[in-house]
Structure formats: structure tokens, C-alpha cells
A and B are shown apart, each in its own frame.
Chain A
Amino acid sequence: MQPARHHWRKFKNASMQAVTCLCALLVVVPLGLIFYHVLKSGFSSVNWAFFTQLPKPVGEAGGGMANAIGGTFELLGLAALLGVPLGVLGGVFLSEYGSLRLNWTVRFAADVLNGVPSIIWGMVVYALVVVPMKGFSAWAGGIVLGMMMVPLIMRTTEEVLLLVPNGYREAALALGIAQWRTVLQIVIRTALKGIITGILLALARVAGETAPLLFTAFGNRFWNHHLSDPIAAVPRQIFDYAISPYEDWHRQAWAGALVLLLFVAIVNVSVRVLTRDRFAKRS
């Protein structure tokens, strides 16, 4: 035993532990700061009118973002219509069918797509949808958000399906149950909570996207009456208000940011509650 080296080793251990702990805490601090700041700046402007009224013209106080909140949910609905079936079925293919080589390619493509800057998605959909339709529209906004959801949902779906023990697949097949039924009613059903979690997280993720909407949904200061017309969205409206020179609009932007942040936070918390419930039952 060499006491001196022993102390030195303990010191190294303690300092490494402190450094890693500090880094871990640094993840939490920004979230706290963001929440604090947005809450402080936005809380006073969030009121009933914010959720129920249309934006007022410049110079007139009050008004709200009802059309943008509604628009965001409309866009998320359209996005889910496109992104959920494609993403879930793609994930099912990766987990339950497919070949090693093809799966590697698809997985790689999905991972790259997850890293594509959102403004590029906007440009792509501008070229594919907005130009042929000769105008910005809710359709285009929903399509771009849906396309962004596909690789996210595909990968999470694949991962939760791979967590389903093979014993369940074998048990079902050994009962003479066809493979598609096994996949649909045994495998997917077992992993359903995980799949829904992935869908909710993908929705929360695209709910805050602004850049792709600039080229597609465009924004609208009134209610959207037709999906072929431009539509408002909360992040898009925040962007407009934040770069404006008006004090009143800045307050509205803070309120919008708070509402959006709360929406994302609520989705994330409910997802945690869902999954915690699942693990409690399992063990």
C-alpha cells in the first residue's frame, strides 16, 4: 500500500466525478433559464383574449393568437396524417421484415434526414408543393411537418418494436397465427405505448418548427378557411412579432413563446408519465 498514491487516486476520482456532475447539471440550467425568462416575460400577456381573439392591427392594443393556435393544431393534424402512417409502417418494416442490407440503408437515410436543417425541408416542399399549387397553403405546411416526422417516428418505432422479446413473436407464430396478424396484434400491441410516445415526441418536436413554415404555410393574420390558403402557426407568428418594432407585438410574441413552450413541456411530461406507468407494470 502506498498511502500517498492512494490519496492522489481518490482526489482524481473525486474531481472527475465533480466535472462530470457539473456537465450533467449544465444540461438542466439552460432549461431552467429559458423557462424562467419566458415565464417572466410572457406570463402577463397570456390571458383569455390571447386564446380567443384574432390579432389586432398595428397600434391597437390587445388581441390574441387564436388563429395561430388553431393553425398550429391544424398543421399538426395534417402532419400526423402523413407522418404517423408512413413512420410507423416504415419502423415496422425495419423491425419485422426487411433484409440486413436494405435496413442498413433505410436506417442510415432516416438518420441523415433527422439531421437535415429544417429550412431545407421547407425549400424542398416549396418546390414540390407550393410551386405546383401556385400558392402557400396549409397543405404545404402540413406536408413539410409530416415529412419531418417520418424519420423521427420510424426510428423510435423500430427501436420500441425491437424491445419486444422474440418469445412473443415465436409464441404467436407457433399458434398458427399469420405473420401480419402477429405483427399487428401481438408485436405492435405490446409496444403500443412506446410507439405513441414516439409519435407525441415527434409532434412536440415539429410543433415549434418555424423555418419550414416560412416557405409553405406562410402565415395568416386571419382564420384559415380553406386548406389551400395560407395558415397561421404559433412559431411563425412569434417570429413576425419578435422582429417587429412594436412593444405590444413583442409582448404577444413572449406570450406565444410561453404557450408553445408549455405545450411542448406538457407533451413531454405526459409521455414520461405514460412510460413510467409501463415500466411499473412490467417489473
Chain B
Amino acid sequence: MPMTTEPKDPRPPARLSPPLPAPASEQGPAAPGLSTPAVSAQELSIFFGSNHVLKRVSLDIPARAVTAIIGPSGCGKSTFLRSLNRMHELVPTARMEGRILLFGQDIYARDVEPVLVRRRVGMVFQKSNPFPTMSIADNATVGLRLNGMRNRSVLAERMEQSLVMAALWDEVKDRLGAPAVSLSGGQQQRLCIARALAVQPEVLLMDEPASALDPLATAKIEDLILELQKDYTIIIVTHNMQQAARISDNTAFFYLGELVEYGPTSKIFTSPAKKQTEDYVTGRFG
């Protein structure tokens, strides 16, 4: 991301190093299964009441890479994403089977609090949702403040870091006290990304983060994702096939609650192994 050009403010591209238990390879993402997976779903099934939404899904998602999840509406891709930080549990009738490991740790173990899982696995939603009662700065640090962080200098530092990382700092640094809802749609979404980054998660989930934005704002979000993947494990649900092809290293294709195919994005889009995948990525259905 371009940093500020003003000489008096030569800000280095401040980065947070999220606490990754496993050292990720520096020469780019490895193929699934070859390095320590950031997230590993094993025989994962999700039910809402009697509705079997996700059927025995197993996949390993590598660290420090972008993994795209594609598939037609209702195929369970959003449910899969939300199960990775236990957000699907907000539906009272939800039930799950199988295991999800986050850097080897079972996040559904009996003694694991959903709140703690969600601090390690951040999420950005389809509709940008900055808190309307808070300023830009307060939105960026809300996750820290409401988790008990009181140290003002740390808060200020994290606020700036996360806004810089979300490529929003230059646009808002002169009006940090302005209400967050005064920003444009694309800026609001980048603020939401900054808000998620400020709590220093290990994995960032994105549920169609650019589907409500215009092409220009979408391009900015995509650039941002490519930048963030150097430090973060990003899992993105998208309806936009070109977007998946542009930004992801690996792609998983879901259909009717099942994982049909999973592999390097180039392979999924050029020579998929399954006919269903080919039909979908070429636009023959879905």
C-alpha cells in the first residue's frame, strides 16, 4: 500500500506480527497439506435444527495465504466460515459434529470459550458495520477497549497501526474523531477490517467483503487482502469468480453442503478435477 508522501511524516509500513505458533514459509504459500495448517476442519458437519447444512467437510487451510471459498448460494460456504469462529452458534438450533483445529488446537473443546476463539479468528462481514455511536478512532480500537485494554498509548499505537494496515490511515488521519458513519462505503469496510486487525487475530475471515462495493472500492479491498496475506491467514467467501482467481492462493468449491473440490486456485480455475467445479467456474450453473 502506498504510504504517506509528506516528508514530515515518513511513516514506515507498521505491521503487527500476529502470534503464529508455526513459522510460515517465506517463499509463498505451500500447497494444502504440506505445511502446518492454520485451520484444519475434520469431518465437519453443521446442522440447523434438522437441516443438515454442512456435510462431513474436511480441509486444511495453510497459514499466511488467501483461501477462497466459492459456490452457489445456500451451499454452506458462509456457514463453514462462521463455524471457524463459532459465530454460527448464535443460531440457537445450531449443532456441529467433527473437529476444527486452529493451529492444532481444537476450538470446540469443552474448556474453550467462544469469546476466546473469536479473539484469535477475526471476521469482516458483507455489509460494513462500523458502530454508529463511535468515532473512526473508537471504532478501530473498540475490540481492545471492550476487552479491558486501558493503556492509552497502546490504544493510540494500535489504532494507527491497524488503520495503516487497512490502507485507511492517510484518508482519515485528520479526522479521527469524526463519526464512522461519515465515511464512504468502501472506507467503512476498510475501517471494519482495521477494527478486526486491531485485536491481532491469527486468522481473518471475510464474508463477501466487497460484494456491496463499487469496482474502485473493491479493487482497494483486493489490494489490501493481497498485502495482508503476508502476515495473515485469510479465508474469504466470494460470489465473484474473478475475485477468487485474482486474490486467492487456494480455492475450495462447495456445493449443496459438501466440499466438491479443493486445491490451488490456478488448478481449480484452469483444470478442475470434477465436472461440477468446471461447470460452476465457467458459469454454466450457479
Instruction: Report which A residues bind B (CB closer than 8 A).
Output: 165, 167-168, 170-178, 181-182, 185-186, 189-190, 192, 281-282
Contact = CB atoms under 8 A, between A and B. Distances in A.
A224 to B, nearest CB: 40
B79 to A, nearest CB: 14
Contacts of B116: 176
10 contacts: A165-B129, A170-B125, A171-B129, A174-B123, A175-B143, A176-B117, A176-B118, A176-B143, A177-B142, A186-B131
A182 B122 CA distance: 16
A188 B131 CA distance: 12
A103 B117 CA distance: 30
A173 B116 CA distance: 10
B178 interface: no
Interface of A is mostly: helix
A66 to B, nearest CB: 40
B173 to A, nearest CB: 23
Nearest to A165: B129
B273 interface: no
B216 interface: no
A170 B114 CA distance: 13
Interface in B22-68: none
Contacts of B192: 171
B199 interface: yes
Contact of B125 (A171, A186, A189, A281): A171
A174 B132 contact: no
Nearest to A191: B133
A192 B129 CA distance: 18
Given A168-B132, A175-B142, 5 more contacts: A168-B131, A175-B143, A175-B199, A182-B146, A281-B181
Given A174-B85, A174-B87, A189-B133, A181 B146 contact: yes
Contact of B127 (A167, A176, A190, A282): A167
A143 B66 CA distance: 61
With most chain B CB atoms within 10 A of its CB, the pick from A168, A177, A186 is A177
The 8 A-B residue pairs with the shortest CB-CB distance, nearest first, are A176-B119, A175-B143, A167-B129, A174-B123, A176-B118, A177-B146, A171-B129, A189-B133
A176 B107 CA distance: 14
A173 B118 contact: yes
B115 interface: yes
A175 B196 contact: yes
Interface string B114-151: 01111110110101010111000000001100110000
Interface string B168-181: 00000000000101
Given A189-B133, A190-B132, A175 B146 contact: yes
B77 interface: no
A166 to B, nearest CB: 9
Interface string B76-115: 0000000001010010000000000000000000000001
B158 interface: no
Contacts of B131: 168, 171-172, 186, 190
B115 A178 contact: yes
Nearest to B130: A171
A116 B199 CA distance: 50
B143 A177 contact: yes
Contacts of B123: 170-171, 174
Contacts of A174: 85, 87, 118, 122-123, 125, 196
B190 interface: no
B129 A282 contact: no
A193 to B, nearest CB: 10
Contacts of A190: 131-133
B27 to A, nearest CB: 32
Given A175-B118, A175-B119, A178-B115, A170 B87 contact: yes
B127 A175 contact: no
Contacts of A281: 179, 181
A189 B131 CA distance: 10
B163 to A, nearest CB: 16
A182 B146 CA distance: 8
Contacts of A181: 146
A281 to B, nearest CB: 8
Contacts of A168: 129, 131-132
A282 B132 contact: yes
A182 B147 CA distance: 10
Nearest to B195: A175
A176 B133 contact: no
A97 to B, nearest CB: 11
A185 B129 contact: no
A175 B122 contact: yes
A173 B87 contact: yes
A176 B196 contact: no
A80 to B, nearest CB: 24
Contacts of A175: 118-119, 122, 142-143, 146-147, 195-196, 199
